[in-house]
Copies of this chain bind each other. A is one copy, B any other.
């Protein structure tokens, strides 16, 4: 896999959580898809079977990863579309409460704030960041559930909680949260931002348990930018209306009087880039050839553990998590150094990590393509800066 990624050939790369490298076979699949579309179409009776085949291929692959039927997968442009589009079409009433974890991505938070403004909803916060920095992963699950218990009210209509937190790198107990929400009298919706989990850890149980499980293909799945998806629950498909409506949302695309698709396609919109489907499907096949999701996670964890342990030996460095990370995100601070300056200095050496604003910290990611030598180079460079 590593040798198939030109992005990894000329740099030491730790930003998989920002964007994954695109393997050459995936780019070739994208180009071949475009050429085939030109040969058959682009708008002819001969091209539709090919378009349908490539779309169905990636939908089925994503459905298999989520362990749901393909009818529960909507293809989207990015993880934000997957989170936000189904959200807007839920049946809201003024006074309903949205309970957001304090580790959600700014885009999702801003979308919830705008929804709350228009619909007269209340936003409440579920504090999980501090729990992450003070609990090991095993104790963390119980602490998060205890926090949820305190935060739920009879007005809570939705809980937004990422599966793998983008800042601390902790895994959230999504299936246990889903089970708890089922016991609430008004059964709040569960929105899960899966930007960091899809392609990095096994997701099937969480994806099947959430109402909205939204992911992208361009991070840990190593697919092209501009294509993601969302797994939707049966009850959401029954109760939520689409908001951004186009011909792909409609059962009979040529008629405005048409009803919406009854399956997840009601949340798809209009023309998108079909060749990206060919690219993502290829990337998913390349990843699958590296082992099962559980096997790949073991390799990811071996890398992040090596990095986390190495960071413990550096003066002035503090990891956010008190124990080796459950996946590939390793966040830390470097005392007395501006995070932006550290990123820049490392970049000058061809070593790429990123900084986060909230909390202000540095984040390095290990994937199945990360080598021990790369991790040791990063540790050496940080030692020189520390």
Interface residues of A (CB under 8 A from B): 5-7, 10-11, 13, 15, 18-22, 27, 30-31, 34-35, 37-39, 41-46, 77-81, 84-85, 88, 104-107, 109-111, 113-114, 117-118, 216, 218, 224-227, 241-247, 249-250, 253-256, 258, 260, 269-274, 276, 343-344, 347, 352, 354, 356-358
Contact = CB atoms under 8 A, between A and B. Distances in A.
A343 B226 CA distance: 33
A272 B258 CA distance: 29
Contact of A256 (B80, B109, B354): B109
Given A7-B37, A21-B42, A254-B356, 7 more contacts: A6-B35, A42-B225, A43-B352, A77-B269, A106-B250, A110-B245, A244-B244
A110 B45 contact: no
Contact of A224 (B45, B104, B106, B273): B273
B270 A78 contact: yes
B27 A226 contact: no
Contacts of A114: 241-243, 245
B270 A85 contact: no
Contact of A43 (B84, B118, B258, B354): B354
Given A5-B38, A15-B43, A15-B44, A111 B354 contact: no
A283 to B, nearest CB: 13
Contacts of A37: 7, 22
A18 B41 CA distance: 10
Contacts of A225: 42, 271-274
A273 to B, nearest CB: 3
B38 A34 contact: no
Contacts of A38: 5-7, 21-22
A191 to B, nearest CB: 14
A343 to B, nearest CB: 7
B106 A357 contact: no
Task: Name, among A81, A246, A269, the residue most crowded by chain B CB atoms within 10 Å (CB to CB).
Answer: A246
Given A244-B111, A256-B110, A347 B226 contact: no
Contacts of A81: 244, 246, 269-270
Contacts of A357: 254-255
A34 B21 CA distance: 10
Contact of A80 (B21, B109, B117, B247): B247
Contacts of A352: 43-45
B5 A246 contact: no
A276 to B, nearest CB: 6
A181 to B, nearest CB: 23
A109 B354 CA distance: 44
Contacts of A270: 77-81, 107
A276 B30 CA distance: 12
A107 B269 CA distance: 9
A353 to B, nearest CB: 10
Given A19-B42, A22-B38, A107 B242 contact: no
B80 A246 contact: yes
Q: Which of A31, A44, A247, A354 has the most CB of B within 10 A?
A: A44
Contact of A258 (B20, B110, B253, B256): B110
A81 B255 CA distance: 18
Q: Which of A11, A45, A77, A258 has the most CB of B within 10 A?
A: A77
Contacts of A354: 43
